[in-house]
Structure 1
Amino acid sequence: MRYQGPVDWNLRTCARRGHVTYAPAEDAYRERLEATTPVGPAWRCLRCGDFVIGEPHARGPAEDAPIVLRGRALRDALILRLLSVERFVKGLLVLAAAYGVFHFRSHRDGVERAFNEDLPLLRPFADKIGWRFEDSAMIHTIRTVIEAESRTLLWVAAGLALYGVLQLVEGIGLWLLKRWGEYFAVVATSLGLPVEIYELTEKVTWLRIGALVVNVAAVLYILLSKRLFGLRGGHAAYAAERHETSLLEVEIAAHEPTLPRGLRDPKLPVGAR
């Protein structure tokens, strides 16, 4: 069996979403992307580079050709969308907790009575398994919530709801691969890092360590790969990198020096000339 090498993200994406073909209006450019076959014309996919039989998906000037995600950009998109899924799940859980706290306010007396009456019934079982109620952080947390004032619970519910909404907004921005979503994710995640570090000083657990490592890695990855806040050349360098990965622009850049001066298009991006 022939070794296939690393995952070809271009082919994998085209297999799932379909090819992207484009017919430039300029004859000199179009001939670089068109081929004639016994069954009809074929056009080169802007993502994977394979020729696809049939009519192109779109036509127009070369400068209007779509800039598709290719290569490393596809891998980056996958990572960002995995992060967005994690934000969605966290946001929904936090909103559920906010609803639970808010709903608890109207049933506080019943919950408190059940807690005080039913908890002692578990003590014989707890003694057998060595679980001490007095040292249980969960029991202390439940008791603190029950004894809290109604106004305090309302503020807690509001804070949880706001945090959950922010997580969902961050997830939407990352899923849509919007630059504002990347900035939002970096700022929001960075603001939460001091809290996570403080929690580690209180008690070290593998869950807290893993959450801190994931969030620090996510911030560094987005900052550097997306060139945010002027890093590695900033937005201009990021946009130029995107243009350079466009197959059509690569084809134009390779072919344009051989064209007569009158056929060169001064409106094309610098990276394509």
Structure 2
Amino acid sequence: MFKRDWNRRTCAKRGHLTYAPTEPDLRARLHAATALGDAWRCLRCGDFALGAPHGSGPAADAPLVPRGKALRDLFVLRFLAVERALRGVLGILIAWAVWRFANSQDAVHQLFDQNLTVFHPVADHFHWDLEHSSVVDTIRKTFDYKRSTLGFVALGVLLYSLIELVEGVGLWLNQRWAEYLAVIATAAFLPLEGLELTHHVSPIKLVTIAVNIAAVLWILLSKRLFGLRGGHAAFEAQRHSASLLEVEHSAGTDSTQLAKA
């Protein structure tokens, strides 16, 4: 079965990332002398890349480069970030439309009633009671809302959309606070989405609530939020254990201990 190599895939797009540690043993394991010049191991994919290293210093100061599962998780997070950002932009547009509607409610009402008559012949042909259809009734109910009520609706949609945008930016930057925000904000609206299903079930609503539940569970467990699976300490330990420098350092230490034995 084909297995995607996230490390090489990312290096192919962004280029290699090399580092020269000052520790002699570790430095030797990451360096190779070739006929074309010095080569250093990439901290992400592990391949040797010709040229000077991108950085140097103590191994403890080296950048912590996501590799393997951590890199795949970052890809999933950024997919969620884009989805949240698109939601935020769409929400802002809806809030603006509601606000505009609230400020020209009477004019829109008159325009709606005038244009509705155009569809009467088509509706009569298909024996459809257009005047009492659910869609038309719903639209007409909105004309009865107070301007202040529509203003509060627009404000609520705007605030929710801004939260989605902030969440999207934070997830894209791989910030832990954004993961907490994503879980709390998404979980808070799950009961409302479930309540909507009791009134009307549609494939889009089912897919949406399934995606949101899966996203909450995945972020909770994979990022070890709220102390789950060892919490933040275990999450950081896992990240460092996947670092190429940590792997090479452990391998070098193990080899030294075997030689002494």
TM-score normalised by the shorter chain: which range applies?
Answer: over 0.9
Residue of structure 2 in register with 1:264 after alignment? none
CA, structure 1 residues 61+130, in 2 after alignment: closer, same or farther (shift >3 Å)? farther
* 2:123 paired with 1:126: yes
Aligned equivalents of 1:215, 1:250: Cα separation in 2: 35
1:164-175 → structure 2 map (5 Å cutoff): 164-175=161-172
CA, structure 1 residues 123+37, in 2 after alignment: closer, same or farther (shift >3 Å)? same
SS of equivalent to 1:49: coil
Residue of structure 2 in register with 1:64 after alignment? 61
Aligned equivalents of 2:84, 2:191: Cα separation in 1: 18
Residue of structure 1 in register with 2:244 after alignment? 247
- Once the 2 structures are TM-superposed, how far is the Cα of residue 90 of structure 1 from its aligned partner? 1.1
CA, structure 1 residues 100+252, in 2 after alignment: closer, same or farther (shift >3 Å)? same
Residue of structure 2 in register with 1:23 after alignment? 20
CA, structure 1 residues 57+215, in 2 after alignment: closer, same or farther (shift >3 Å)? same
TM-score normalised per structure 2: 0.94
Summarize deviations over 1:191-225 as a string: whole Å, max 9, x none: 01000000000011111111110000000000011
- Once the 2 structures are TM-superposed, how far is the Cα of residue 259 of structure 1 from its aligned partner? 5.4
CA, structure 1 residues 35+156, in 2 after alignment: closer, same or farther (shift >3 Å)? same
* 2:154 paired with 1:186: no
Aligned equivalents of 2:128, 2:78: Cα separation in 1: 41
Residue of structure 2 in register with 1:37 after alignment? 34
SS of equivalent to 1:7: coil
CA, structure 1 residues 73+134, in 2 after alignment: closer, same or farther (shift >3 Å)? farther
Aligned equivalents of 2:193, 2:110: Cα separation in 1: 34
Aligned equivalents of 1:131, 1:40: Cα separation in 2: 80
Aligned length: 257
Residue of structure 1 in register with 2:193 after alignment? 196
Of residues 106, 121, 141 in structure 1, which corresponds to 2:103?
A: 106
Aligned equivalents of 1:130, 1:98: Cα separation in 2: 36
Q: Which amino acid aligns with 2:204?
A: L
Q: Percent identity?
A: 52
**Aligned residues of 2:103 and 2:147 also touching (Cα < 8 A):** no
Summarize deviations over 1:129-158 as a string: whole Å, max 9, x none: 454435544323321221211111111111
Aligned equivalents of 1:241, 1:100: Cα separation in 2: 46
**Aligned residues of 2:31 and 2:38 also touching (Cα < 8 A):** yes
Q: Which amino acid aligns with 1:126?
A: A
TM-score normalised per structure 1: 0.90
Q: Which amino acid aligns with 1:86?
A: E
Residue of structure 2 in register with 1:235 after alignment? 232
Of residues 40, 46, 49 in structure 1, which corresponds to 2:46?
A: 49
Q: Which amino acid aligns with 1:10?
A: N
SS of equivalent to 2:52: coil
CA, structure 1 residues 33+136, in 2 after alignment: closer, same or farther (shift >3 Å)? farther
Q: Which amino acid aligns with 1:147?
A: D
Extract unaligned runs of 5+ from structure 1.
Answer: 261-273
Aligned equivalents of 2:155, 2:196: Cα separation in 1: 22
Residue of structure 1 in register with 2:92 after alignment? 95
Extract unaligned runs of 5+ from structure 2.
Answer: none
Of residues 112, 118, 121 in structure 2, which corresponds to 1:115?
A: 112
Aligned equivalents of 1:154, 1:42: Cα separation in 2: 63
- Once the 2 structures are TM-superposed, how far is the Cα of residue 226 of structure 1 from its aligned partner? 0.5
Residue of structure 2 in register with 1:256 after alignment? 253
Q: Which amino acid aligns with 2:93?
A: A
Q: CA RMSD in A?
A: 1.5
Between stretches 184-193 and 101-110, larger displacement belongs to 101-110
Aligned equivalents of 1:105, 1:184: Cα separation in 2: 31
Q: Which amino acid aligns with 1:197?
A: G
SS of equivalent to 1:52: strand
Q: Which amino acid aligns with 1:170?
A: E
Aligned equivalents of 2:154, 2:129: Cα separation in 1: 30
Between stretches 193-202 and 67-76, larger displacement belongs to 67-76
- Once the 2 structures are TM-superposed, how far is the Cα of residue 33 of structure 1 from its aligned partner? 0.2
Q: Which amino acid aligns with 2:115?
A: D
Residue of structure 2 in register with 1:147 after alignment? 144
Residue of structure 1 in register with 2:219 after alignment? 222
SS of equivalent to 1:239: helix
